[in-house]
């Protein structure tokens, strides 16, 4: 048995592709899947059933590239549906699963499966989305990719919700609800709050220095 108890020469891996909406995560996932298929490896693709924006049983990119996928309602359903012969498991919109997805992908990788995931690293408030922080921590490889800021054309790392009054973290939508933005044009908390936080921190660090 090799590392992680896998067969000699067969070692699984965990890959994460993350970034804001429109950054090309799904395109990249599909690119990796196509290459594995060219190498004649058995691939299974999953997506959370909640994401039915374009299609129930396909993963579809904003540039209309698509590939068939199995919708699942939970992380453990992925484990139940993966065949023994599957070499590569791809999961799109992985941020919609709960924390148990980390255990599931670890189990698959230990069995020698290459797991490729694509998901939003941050929600519309710029905070880690669902299980993404854990997945980024356990991944063997992480690619953080950028979109283009719709305001200034700079690389965009944030997903901006056009109507901030909609406060639920999960609100499935498209260009009707979201835009890719750079940090300067994604003012999640409002200018006043930013300034307040800055002065509180400044005063804190001043009083700490005085106490030294
Ligand atoms: P993601 O899965 O990260 O949301 P997709 O792979 O579905 O992204 O789509 C990426 C494609 O979205 C790009 O190739 C481009 O055609 C299109 N696109 C639309 N708006 C933008 C934007 N603001 N920045 C970059 N690409 C964009
Ligand atoms: Mg996508």
Ligand index nearest the alpha carbon of residue 63: 1
- Which mutation among 32, 62, 90, 173 tests ligand 1's pocket best, with the greatest number of atoms within 8 A of CB? 62
Between the CA of 28 and the centroid of ligand 2 the distance, in Å, is 9
Query: What does the angle CA 142 – CA 113 – CA 41 come to, to the nearest 5 degrees?
Result: 105
pLDDT, residue 1, reads: 35
CA separation for the pair 101, 106 (Å, rounded) = 8
Q: Residue of the nearest CA to atom 27 in ligand 1? A: 22
pLDDT, residue 203, reads: 62
pLDDT, residue 51, reads: 78
Q: What is the pLDDT of residues 5-23, one digit of tens each?
A: 444 556 799 999 999 999 9
Q: What is the pLDDT of residues 73-94, one digit of tens each?
A: 999 999 999 999 999 999 999 9
**Total of domains in the chain:** 1
Spans of the chain below 50 pLDDT: 1-7, 192
Ligand index nearest the alpha carbon of residue 17: 1
CA separation for the pair 105, 118 (Å, rounded) = 13
pLDDT, residue 208, reads: 61
Q: Which residues line ligand 1 (CB under 6 A)?
A: 19, 21-27, 61-63, 147-148, 150, 180
CA separation for the pair 13, 80 (Å, rounded) = 19
Q: Residue of the nearest CA to atom 20 in ligand 1? A: 22
> What range does the domain containing 61 cover?
3-210
Specify the CATH number for the domain of residue 183.
3.40.50.300
């Amino acid at each position: 048995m090799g590392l992680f108890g896998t067969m000699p020469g067969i070692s699984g891996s965990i890959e994460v592709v993350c970034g804001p909406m429109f950054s090309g995560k799904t395109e990249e996932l599909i690119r990796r899947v196509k290459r594995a298929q060219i190498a004649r490896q058995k691939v299974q693709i999953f997506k959370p059933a909640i994401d039915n924006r374009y299609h129930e049983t396909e993963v579809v990119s904003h540039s209309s590239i698509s590939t068939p996928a199995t919708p699942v309602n939970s992380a453990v359903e992925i484990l139940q549906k993966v065949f023994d012969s599957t070499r590569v498991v791809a999961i799109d919109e992985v941020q919609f699963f709960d924390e148990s997805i980390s255990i599931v992908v670890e189990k698959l990788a230990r069995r020698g499966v290459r797991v490729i995931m694509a998901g939003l690293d941050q929600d519309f408030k710029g905070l880690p989305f669902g299980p993404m922080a854990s997945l980024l921590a356990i991944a063997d490889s992480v690619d953080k990719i950028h979109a283009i800021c719709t305001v200034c054309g700079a690389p965009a790392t944030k997903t901006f919700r056009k109507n901030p009054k909609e406060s639920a973290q999960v609100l499935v939508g498209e260009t009707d609800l979201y835009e890719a933005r750079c940090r300067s044009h994604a003012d999640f908390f409002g200018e006043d709050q930013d300034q307040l936080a800055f002065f509180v921190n400044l005063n804190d660090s001043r009083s700490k220095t005085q106490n030294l």
